[in-house]
Structures are given as structure tokens and as C-alpha cells.
Amino acid sequence: MDSEDDFNSSMSGEDFEDQDSDLEIEDDSDFDMDQDDVGFETQDKDIKPTKQAHEVEFEVFDPEQIQAQQQVKIDEVSSILALSPEAAAILLRYLRWNKERLVDRMMEQREETLESAGLGQDAQTNPPKLQKIPGFCCDICCDDSPDMKTFAMKCDHRFCIDCYRQYLATKIQDEGEAARIRCPGEGCTRIVDSKSLDLLVTADLQDRYHTLLTRTYVDDKENLKWCPAPDCKYAVQCGVKSKDLNKIVPTVHCDCSHMFCFGCTLADHQPAPCSLVKKWLKKCEDDSETANWISANTKECPKCVSTIEKNGGCNHMTCRKCRHEFCWMCMGVWSEHGTSWYNCNRFEEKSGSDARDAQAKSRQSLERYLHYYNRYANHEQSAKLDKDIYLKTEKKMQQLQNTTGMSWIEVQFLDQASQALQQCRQVLKWTYAFAYYLARNNLTEIFEDNQKDLEMAVENLSEMFEKPIDQLQGLKVEMMDKTSYCTKRRIILLNDTAENLKQVQEYDVIIVGAGFSGISTLYRLRKEGLKAHIFESASDFGGVWYWNRYPGARVDSETPFYQLNIPEVYKSWSFSKRFPDHIELREYFAHIDKTLDLRKDVTFNSKVDSCTWHNDTSKWSVTTETGVKANAQFLVTATRLLHKPHLPSWEGQEIFKGAIYHSASWPSCSDLTGKKVAIIGAGATAVQIVQEVGKQASHLAHFIRRPSHCLPMGQRAWTVEEQRVWKAFFPSLFATGRNSHTGFPIERRDQRVQDVSPEEREAYFEHIWATGAFHFSMLNFNNVSTDREANLIVYDFWKRKVRERLTDSKKQRLMAPDEATYYFATKRTPLEHDYYEVLNQDNVEIVDLNKHPITAFTERGMRLEGEECERDFDVIVCATGFDSFTGSLTNMGLRNKNGVDIKDVWKEGVRTYLGITMNGFPNAFMVYSPQAPTALANGPTIIECQCDLVVQAIVSLRKDGKTTIEPTQQAEDEWKSKLNTMVENTLFPYTNSWWNTSNIPGKKAENQNYILGIPTYEKECRERLGKRQGFEIAA
């Protein structure tokens, strides 16, 4: 809904006299504009009132003014460089009107610049003219008439006048081109200048050409934008930079009366920053959360349960049946509104016992969303209703004049009240989107108090606005007072919010991520007395287990080892199964939160989009998409190993009319019962999905390139007695796990495969196969990953065990080939419980992508190479993996001390020292990171190991009174070389997988794992950190 005119139009100067002085602030230097960069000279303007905290400086220009400013630039460059105005214009458009850059380039590389701009090395232009050339034949139309007029620029590509005109008309009229129209000569890069074009085309085309040039000028300038209102001709200039859009909402007021955000060009959405608005609108598009939208339009009376439809903007409702008065928003008794203890606008978090119940928590999450969404939608609807009522009342205003003798000027208080209501409801609408993402703190309470005050002021004015027309004359003074008060409350709310957006929180340590890594880091830092804070993009704890919700999602690391070694947590928690599913794991994280009181130190719904090091303060500055800003001496990235989904690009994906799911973003309301489903991929996630969906779908096509070496999960339930016994041994179990190679209290058999007889080997294989989990790979002989012969012996046993469970010979050959497609256990070995039994089902087929690769998606499904008919599907599931190890780190705006983004630093390969620090990133640490034992170990165990190392480094540095710690480039080189040397005599380099990042096209394949085990890794890291070997330390 578009906003109306600026609020100043509905208020007199006296209306501001009693406002507090804290509503005025000095101009922020961040938004000062360099006039030369802007491209507009200072013009005399009427004196404006003092700029409020939520306001920005802007100017509005019409097309004539824009053209005049272009001409000023052109004349300046023409004079400086001694070029014709036409040549100067072409050069300026080539360099997007950056005069200083153009002059510098012309001084340093004149010939190259002229050539690149399309002028040729001789930029002097002669007056264009038409010529008759005896014997000339046009290369386009082959006309050789003796009296034919022709035209050519200095490039001497000559064509008849009719062909040249037709070419230019096509470019201008059909293609909308103007600034970079090239000579029609084949391969010629010369640009047609404006004088030549004016000579050749009609007056209508000349007008369109110059209009297009004006639009190009505006489009080329970052601080100049066209007003998005329909048919508006104005452009608005504003000096707010894109990097500041988390600090302020740059609302501008076009001369056409349209108010819009200069940052995103949407209608005014103060006080919510652009990134938050984008996030909110995307959330509101999710059908699973907006299915109850109807509840915002019709409700039942809380007393007599009669259905009531809202037909006005006021929220003070009176039931026609029982006369009960209540609030439309909270359904509470109206008489209680406005009291000190009653807060209709504030969402009250449910306390206590519900936290452990994941379903209850899910319901509360939906209730919380609907609380804010309904109020957001209500104000949008109320604003429209208020406007409709005003339009209907306008005729009665004329009657009021006739019956009371009031002048048209005297009845304008209704117009002023209408505009104030529209503006206030627009603000209130966006306050609820803004509040949804706010962390709970004292600033939140101040915001909600301002929100409540504005709500009450708007409801009072709205209720008066709906009075019968014959009562309005007597209410004029009171309505004017309430209009003024509404506007004041709106300004107060916007100013306070704008000021708070600019505030920066200070911490000792900032942590990014609220999964196992973030929680472990926060827990340890708290124990050391440090002030730490987590920023998390999701709306709750869990990390990967917040997002993993696909059918069959469960952990494949067994409990009790897959949990944190925190006694106060594990003593009061028991898992129900050896391998818990995603629901139970979210319950576990809720238990951790409740036990450790974590939430007070976490900001959810806040994706970090910038991490910048400041050399002058020796601190990291972090900003989020929601506008939160924080500084800290130390930064810890505790992000997920598998975070950024990888979705291959197939032709025609956009035209498929069914649903496409990636396992990382599974819709909560999906039901695949009776559907035709395709599952692309054969990794751990695909295995879990196939096991579940194969039992639901009418037909399932499992697309594989190479089968995974799946192992039996060995799932079973834990009894209460078992749990009680286990917990007595947890301290020793966790200690043993920490000192083991993989984080589980088990070790490989210290013999070669070939050292035992075939009979003993077979019996041992059967034993470790039957125990389930990763035992068949982790308890196997010590040369399986280094000896080809040994590896093939293990594969042969695995093949026999799988083929025993598959009944179809074709499926046997596909899922357990005669010859291994890669060495056993050199990529992840998924755990399954009835995967092969599901593959036996008649409704499940296996498609070999090596023989029949996907060529394109169609409206109904997909086409495969070698098949004549397309395949029809209702749902296509992409279990195609993730941009592992680095995907999350390169997606958060993390820059080194020289301002270079980590994605560019790592362009030629990952570089770390000890897997926890990086050269160029002082005081920055990583947990669950590349170049560590990460992918080859139990998650919580390696996480707690790295957390201890990181916290040790931070505490030691502060204890010694030092300021920064940063590894040297030489230390990084040595560490990378060490990791590469580790795998030289192993079978790992022969297998492409996410373990070595070769699953992403174009990404450099390289070893990311420290393969010597957790104890060796931890010992080496502690020694180097203790001696500060390979580090530069600054006081």
C-alpha cells in the first residue's frame, strides 16, 4: 500500500513546539554527499525543518533538470580534454559518468580508453553529412542506385540512408538502446554519436533516443533513482550508500506525492530495514505459515461466539448481538486497554515446561509468527478501510459545508486526519515485521512501549474518524489534537528506532552460529568470565538440526556419544534411541537452552552479512541482515560443515510445474503419499529419504551416479535402566572418546587384512558388521585406507552382504557393482536400516545416470539421454549435497584486515593454520572447520576439542595483556603441506567427494581433513598454541 504525502503537510508549525529536544539530531556525516560524485550542483532550495533522526537528505529532479546536469558534465569534459561534446558524452557514458576517473584514464591510457569507449584512437568528429558516392553498392540491401544517399562515420563503414535509418530505428524503438549503439558494420565497435543520429532519424525517434539517454544517466548513478510510482517522471537523489541500509531506512518523498524507500524502491517501510523487509515478505509467502491468514479478517466474539467481520479501521469492536466490547487484535476486554499492565502489542513468550516439547515449541513458533503477521496484515487492511471511509465521507464534507456554513478550508481537518492515519498505520504495519526479528532486551521493551502508544493514539483517532458526519463539526478541535498527537507518536517511534539502529553492541567475543559449536564456545567463554554473544540466522538452536526436517532425517553418530560433555545437561537428559531423529534432537537442544539459560546471549533470525576487522581499534565489527551491529575483540565462526546447498543447474528447471525440493529446505506441509517422486543423489541424505518416501510414493525413481557403501545402522531403543547405568560411566566414556582416533571410544584393529586367515577375517567382518553404526569401517583392519588389495577384500565382503538383501539382479549390479566405483570408506559411508528392502519394492526403480544422464527438465518431469519419452513426476527431490567446509564461511561477508573477502582469499584453495586460524584475520577463530579432523570424527567430540583450543588461545592472550594473535603465511603454507603429505600414501585422493570439495563444479579439489585422529591433532595444536609457534602477537 502506497503512503500519502509527507506528514508536514497535515500539521502546522505550532504542532512541533512542545516536542522534546531529543527528537532532533545533527546531520550524520555518513550520509553527506560529495557533489561531484553525485553529479548535481547545489541548488537553492526552500529552508527545510531540522532533519529528524529517521529522515535522510534527498532532492527531486525532473527530466529537464537531469538533462541540464548531463550537459554540464559533458561541457566540462569537452573543455578539459579538448574533445567535441559528442565524443565527451560517449566517454562519460562509457565510464558511468565518473568524470575524475575518465580524466585520469585519458591522461594515462588515452588511446586504449578511446578505443574501448567506441571512439577509435582519433576521437575528433567531423560534422555528419549525407553523400552520394558514384558506383556505391550498399552491403545490406545491395542497392546501387546512382542518386542514392549514403552515410558513414569515421570508421568508413558506409551504407545507404534507408538501411542506416532502419538499423537505428530498430535499436532505439525495438531494443531500447541509446547510449551504446554501434556502427552497423560487421565487427565495428564505433559508437554512433548524437549528432549523426539526429541527422538520420525522425523527430519521434530523436525524442525517444534522448529520453533513453536520460534514463541511462539515472540508471548509471548509484545515488540517483527513478520514482517507482506509475507514470511518474521524476528522479530522486539520495546520498545513503548501500552499506548503510542496515542503519537507516532512507524514505524519500517524490514530488508526485509518492513515498518510497530509496534503498529498495518499495513503498515506505519505516522502521524496518530493507534486508529485514525482504526476509519478512519471503516468510509471508510461505503457505505453511500463512494458511491461517483468514483469521485476520473474520473472528468470533469472545463472549457469544458470533462470527464478526471487520469493516472499519478501528480495532475497538462491539458485537452487534451481545454488545460485548473487545479488541480485534488480542480479543481482550476493551476497557482494560491502555492500562499500565495491559500490552496488546507485546507477544508474551510462553514459559517453562513447554520448552522440552518440540511439538509445543513448534506450535508456539507458529503462534508467535501469526501474532505479528495478523497485526501486520490488520494495519494494512485498516489503512485501506480508513481511506475508503474518507473517500465516502468526502461528499458529506460538502454537505457539512452547506448545512453549517463551514468553509472548505475549515473541513480540511478530516483530510489531515486521514493522511495521519494512513502514515501511522503504514508505520505500525512495519513495526510488527520489525518486532518479529528483534531480540528480547531493554531496547525491545522501549520499542514496544512506543509501538503501544502509537497503537492507542491511532485507535482513538480512527474511532473518532468513523463518527457520523453530523457530529464532526463539534469534534473538529479534538480531532485536530488527536491528529497532531498521532503524528508526534509516529515521529518519536521512528526517531528512537533510527537511533537504536545506529547503536553498536560491545562484546568480548562474537560467535556466529547456535548449533553444537556455538553453544560449546559460549558455554566455555561464560565459564572464563567473558562477555560473549551468538548471532544465528535460524529462529532457534540446533544448527544443522534446526534445518534438517526431511523425511527420515536422523543422526548417524550413535548416542550417548553424540551429545555435549556437559554434566548439568546430560544428567537430566536421556535419548530414547541409539540414533535419534531430527525431532528428538531439537528437543535436546531445547533442553540445553533451558538448562544453561543460553537464550539471553543469543540473537536469532539474524544472518550475519558482514564481518570487518578494524586496525585502529583492533576489533571485529559484525552486522546482520536485520540491522543489528556489534563489535568484539574476538570473532568465532561456529558455522555448519554442510551449510550451503548445492543445486545443479539443469535446463528447463524453471518450467517444471511440479515441486522441486532440496533436502536442506524441506517444506513442513509436504505429503508425498501417492505421488510420483524422483530422488536425485545417492549420499547419506538420499538414503534416508528413499527409506521413507519409497513407502509413501506411488512411484519412486532413484537417480544415482555411483552407489554409496551403506552400512547397517543397528537402530534400537534405549531403556530407562540402560540410561541410568550408562550415565555412571559417562565421564570415562567421554574421556576415552576424546582420546580416540574418531571421537568414539573404539579403535581400528591393529593388524593388516592380509595378516589373518580368510576364515578369521570373515568371522571378524561378520562381527563388526552385526554391531551396526560405523563399526565396520572404524573397527576394521589398519591398512584398509592405505592398501588397495586390503580395501578390495573389504569391498568384496560389503558387496556380498548387500547383494544378499537385493532380490533383483539388475538392482544388485547397480547398487553393489562387480568392481568398486571408488575405494571403500574413502567417502562417507551412510547408515541405513531398510534401504535395500525399499529398493526391492515394485514401485521403486533405480536409474543409472551414467547411462541416462538428465538432459532437461520439462513441464511434467524430465528428459533423459537415450530415452525417447519424457518421465513424469509430481515432485523432484534434489539430494545433491552441499558446498562443504567453506560454503558457510564464504557466505557471511567475512573480510580480512586488508578488506578482501574470504571467498577471494580462498579462491585458489583453503588456507588455515591448525584448522582454527587464518593469516590476515587477526583474532578470528573457526570451530568445526576445514583442515582439521572434522569430517572423519564424531561431531560433538571434535567440536569440544576445537572449542577448548580456541578459548585457551583467547584467555591466554588476554591474561598476557596482548591485543591480537594472527598466524603467519608461512605457518599456513606448512600446515597445508602437512595435510597434503598425510594423504599421499592413502587411497583418499583417488575418490572425489565432499570430503575433498570435489563435489562442486569449478571448486578446487583438495584434502580438507587432518587424518591422524583427534588426539594427535589436539596435542599438536596445544603445543603450537602454548609456544605461540607460527603466530604473530601484538601488544
Q: Which residues have a catalytic role annotated? A: 314
Q: Is 300 left (phi over 0), alpha (psi -120 to 50) or beta?
A: beta
Residues 134, 148 contacting (CB under 8 angstroms): no
Grid cell for residue 626 = 536485520
The single residue listed with the C-alpha cell 565524443 is 87
- Identify the helix (H) or strand (E) that includes residue 895: none
Give just the sign of the alpha carbon dihedral 803, 807, 809, 813. negative
**SS3 per-residue string spanning 569-617:** HHCCCCCCECCCEHHHHHHHHHHHHHHHCCHHHEECCCCEEEEEEECCC
Residue 907: helix, strand or coil by DSSP?
Answer: coil
CA distances from 980 to 887, 952, 968 (A): 21, 27, 19
DSSP string, 102-124: HHHHHHH-HHHHHHHHTS-S---
Question: Facing residues of 846 across strands?
Answer: 702
Cβ atoms of 794 and 775 within 8 Å: the answer is: no
Which residue is it, cell 526391492? 840
Between vectors from CA 100 to CA 96 and to CA 105, what angle results, nearest 5°?
Answer: 85
| Three-state DSSP class for residue 80 | helix
What is the distance between the alpha carbons of residues 59 and 42, in angstroms, rounded to a whole number? 10
- Look at strands 149-151 and 159-160 and give their pairing: antiparallel
Largest CA distance in the chain: 114
Query: What is the C-alpha separation between 726 and 715, in angstroms, rounded?
Result: 17
For residue 629, give the amino acid letter. Answer: K
With CA atoms as reference, report the closest residue to 193 among 224, 168, 175, 161.
168
Q: What one-character-per-residue DSSP string does 968-1014 give?
A: -HHHHHHHHHHHHHHTTTSSGGGS-SGGGTTTSTTSPP---B-TT-H
What is the C-alpha to C-alpha distance for residues 15 and 401, in angstroms, rounded to an integer?
26
Each residue of 318-349: b (16+ CB within 10 Å) or e?
Answer: ebeeeeeebbbbbeeebeebeeeeebbbbbee
User: ∠ CA 731-737-741 to the nearest 5 degrees?
Assistant: 165
Dihedral over Cα of 13, 18, 23, 27: its sign: positive
**DSSP collapsed to 3 states, 435-467:** HHCCCCCHHHHHHHHHHHHHHHHHHHHHHHHCC
Q: What is the spatial distance between Cα 620 and Cα 612, in angstroms, rounded to a whole number?
A: 6
Contact (CB, 8 A) for 289 and 367: no
What number of CA atoms fall less than 13 Å from residue 607's CA on the CB side?
13
Using alpha carbons, select from 544, 555, 414, 385 the residue that is nearest to residue 476.
414
The closest alpha carbon to 675, from 645, 649, 696, 695, belongs to 696
The cell for 337 is 486497554
> With contact defined as beta carbons under 8 Å apart, do 838 and 690 qualify?
yes
Residue 718 DSSP SS3: coil
Asked if residues 244 and 498 have their Cβ atoms less than 8 Å apart, the reply is: no
